[in-house]
Structure 1
Amino acid sequence: MPFRSPQSDEQNLGLTLTAPVRAAIREFVASIVPTVIPIVQGSADRITALLGSYLLKTDATATYSPLGHKHAASDITAGGTTASGFTVGGDLEVSGGVTATGAVTGDAGTFPSALNSTGVYGRQLTSSYKAVYIDAGGNFGFSPSPRAVKTNIRPWQPDTDVLLRIVPSLYQYKAEFTERDRRAALPEDDPDHDDDYQVATMLGVIADDLDELGLEEFIFRDETGALAGVHYELLALALLPVIQAQEARLSTIEQHLGLPGKEQP
């Protein structure tokens, strides 16, 4: 009697089912697949979203490739920041404005257009203050004066007659008239509207006049070489050689007239 291998239940079932029954089963299975696939896919999407949320919220100290992930603006701004705040190790570029309710600190910063602070204008300094200057690179700083940081020190001997030809002037800035006209032309409900804008009258010296007198050390120029302004902080120094020269002339006149001279300290 030839050997016959045992058959599985599935094989036995397949032998006992009629063709119509097998066709019905195949049709039933085929109808289930389109329904199951969206359910499985939806579950996979939910798992992916949960993992992404977990990585963003619970593993925030991890380092990710810059090209490996990104955050929507709402993910960063919603709820604000906690603990020590938001830290950026490199440059942070912002296309719009940046507003801070607290202090903004750092080693350096570049502002190509302007740097503005209305609070600085009204801040009173009572001690430990320095005169702040701006160099050609737009950097703020002070000008040190100790002998230890200077070299080639020598007396300045200007022509005092030229210094006496410096004439103070009253003037008004053209830009002030432009601003006055702009404010007057605004609608009356605009906060900047002002029919009574007053153009200020200033007191100073004219850079062109100093340039004509050859007093180049008292003026500064822009990057094109055109006259830009006056070193007003240096004008007080110009008085010292003038006073000294006047004092020497008075002493000479007193000696000539036989008058008692000024006692030397």
Structure 2
Amino acid sequence: MANPGTPAFSMPPAEDETVRAQADVERRQREDAAARTLEAATIGSGGLTVKGGFIDLKEGSSLHVSGEAVFDGDVSLPAGSLNTPGGSIGAGQDITAGQDVIAVRDVKAGRHADVDQNLTVGGNATVTGDVTTQARVRAAGDIETTGTVGLLRSVGSRNYIVGTNYAGAWINVDGTIGISPSSRLFKGAIRDWSFDPQKLLQVQAKSFVYKQSPVPYQAERQVGFIAEDLDELGLSAFLFYDDTGAVQGINYDRLTVALFVLAQWQEQRLSAIEQRLSAAGI
């Protein structure tokens, strides 16, 4: 008992180690029970919000969303797959999956999409950075990489042999990949075309290396023409230009048309010479 006038106080009882351990066990049991309850839980229209945390999928697990899956940050599934059979997938940053990413509608990533297996999209795939996959990229709609240098790589295509019914792929000025058909079904206002074939004889072949080679000026030398040389000769029909109007490169496939015209011109000259020689009895 404290003496009169002396403030009474009492120290909190020291928590026994056994009591503390028991509390930890009970806490883990409650967390496990909550996780098991969530296995069959239905989330309503309000959705699922994780504040400051994350959704952790153990090895071999997948995330299956019947509607849309939208994430402000990264979507990372190191060993699983992401499947939204009824909606879209949207991520503010990266989409990374150890297996497949499948969406019936659209896939959008604020940065990169890195998928170890297949990326299958029923709608459009839009990625600000790079699209990287070890298997296939399939999209019923458009595949778009919108970064300053948006790359779409297909490393395995170097080992794939196409059949006889193939078409060359071309990149349009807006970055769209497509074909350039030659059938009359796709062409209008058709008329004969000619140019001064002697200009083509003034073009000098060059050898060079690309400045953006892995080791600048030390890569294997290439052969070809310089676009500016053709531009100076007025051969703009065989060139392509950037969005500022500066000459950028040569459409070498169009040069085959010029070579046909050149061959026809030379054939006409030879025929004329032969006729004169024949008339002269030579």
| TM bracket, shorter-chain basis | 0.5 to 0.7
**What's the TM-score, normalizing by structure 1?**
0.63
- Are the structure 2 counterparts of residues 246 and 255 from structure 1 closer, same or farther at C-alpha, using a change threshold of 3 Å? same
Aligned counterparts, 1:76-225, within 5 A: 76=57, 78-81=59-62, 86-87=83-84, 89-93=87-91, 94=94, 95-102=111-118, 103-106=136-139, 107-111=141-145, 112=147, 113-176=150-213, 179-180=214-215, 199-225=219-245
Give, in whole Å, the separation in 2 of the partners of 1:256 and 1:91: 76
Q: Secondary structure at the match of 1:165?
A: coil
2:253 match: 233
Separation of aligned partners in 2, 1:50 and 1:175: 58
Q: Distance in 1 between matches of 2:54 and 2:224?
A: 51
Q: Percent identity?
A: 31
Aligned-residue RMSD, C-alpha? 3.2
Deviations 1:102-132 (A, max 9, x none): 3332122211321122212232223221100
Q: Secondary structure at the match of 2:49?
A: coil
SS in 2 for 1:175: coil
The DSSP-based 3-state class of the residue aligned with 2:256 is helix
Structure 1: runs of 5+ lacking an equivalent: 1-38, 182-196, 260-265
In structure 1, C-alpha distance between the alignment counterparts of 2:230 and 2:58, rounded to whole Å? 55
Does the alignment pair 1:69 with 2:102?
A: no
Give 3-state SS (helix, strand or coil) of 2:248's partner.
strand
Q: 1:87 to 1:214 in 2, by over 3 A?
A: same
- Partner AA of 1:222 in structure 2: D
Number of aligned residue pairs: 197
SS in 1 for 2:199: helix
- In terms of Rg, which structure is larger? 1
CA distance in 2, matches of 1:254, 1:123: 50
What is the TM-score normalised by the length of structure 2?
A: 0.59
Q: Cα distance 1:73–1:154, how it changes in 2: closer, same or farther (>3 A)?
A: farther
Match for 1:117: what amino acid? S
1:92 aligns to what SS in structure 2?
strand
SS of equivalent to 1:126: coil
Match of 2:17 in 1: none
Could you tell me how far 1:199 is from its partner in structure 2? 1.4
Going from structure 1 to structure 2, the CA distance change for 1:91 and 1:155 (only over 3 Å counts) comes to farther
Residue 221 of structure 1: how far off its partner (Å): 1.5
Alpha carbons 2:209, 2:218 under 8 Å: kept:
no
Where structure 2 has 5 or more consecutive residues not aligned to the other structure, the ranges are 1-22, 65-80, 95-110, 119-135
Richer in strand (by share): 2
**Greater helix proportion:** 1
Whether contact under 8 Å (2:241, 2:248) holds in the other structure is yes
**1:108–1:50 distance in 2 versus 1, CA, 3 Å:** farther
> Cα 1:70–1:129, aligned 2, differ >3 Å: closer, same or farther?
farther
Over 3 Å counting, the alpha-carbon distance change for 1:92 and 1:82 in structure 2 is closer
